[in-house]
Amino acid sequence: KKQEAERKKKGKGKVKGEAHSAQEDVSESESEGEMAAADMYAQAHVSAKSKRDISAYILSDPSPTAKLKLLLDSGASSGMVPHIEWFEPSSLRPLDPPRPIGFGDDSEVFAIAIGTIILTTKTTNVRLTNVLLVPDF
């Protein structure tokens, strides 16, 4: 109890065994070794304070022939889209000079503006901020 009170006082969240966690379900056909490996990588411990600030979204496109596609990369430093009409007009700010963006194959494109886009899903709207407008992307 003393340790828990001290952690709360310092803003450190919950004691390890009491943290909120998310786990991925694994099928019964997997071996014990595979299940142990899956358990090791499929856990996230989130403090109660952080829990309300974290969201995750999954997007699927039911039409493989859709003309407009969007790939969200959670590891990217910025989202990039080529369509100016996707942006909230009041949020769009030009980048002067344009920002160069390099790729692993040594190619380069330029971001000409930055702003906010809204993705509408069946249940909610997802707001993406600081998205780069890259016409050649």
What was the pLDDT predicted at 77?
A: 81
What was the pLDDT predicted at 92?
A: 97
DSSP secondary structure string for all residues of 20-48 = EEEE----TTS-HHHHHHHHHHSEEEE-H
What was the pLDDT predicted at 2?
A: 55
Residue 10 predicted with pLDDT over 60 = no
Q: What is the pLDDT of residues 108-130, one digit of tens each?
A: 999 999 999 998 878 888 899 99
How far apart are the C-alpha atoms of 117 and 120, rounded to whole Å?
10
Q: What is the pLDDT of residues 31-87, one digit of tens each?
A: 555 555 544 444 555 566 665 665 555 555 566 666 666 777 777 888 899 999 999
How far apart are the C-alpha atoms of 132 and 94, rounded to whole Å?
10
What was the pLDDT predicted at 24?
A: 44
Q: How confident is the model at residue 107 (pLDDT cuts 50, 70, 90)?
A: very high
What was the pLDDT predicted at 84?
A: 95
What was the pLDDT predicted at 120?
A: 84
What was the pLDDT predicted at 90?
A: 97
Local structure of 110: helix, strand or coil:
strand
DSSP secondary structure string for all residues of 48-94 = HHHHTT--------S-TT-S------TTSSS-EES-GGGB-GGG-EE
How far apart are the C-alpha atoms of 45 and 51, rounded to whole Å?
9
What was the pLDDT predicted at 67?
A: 65
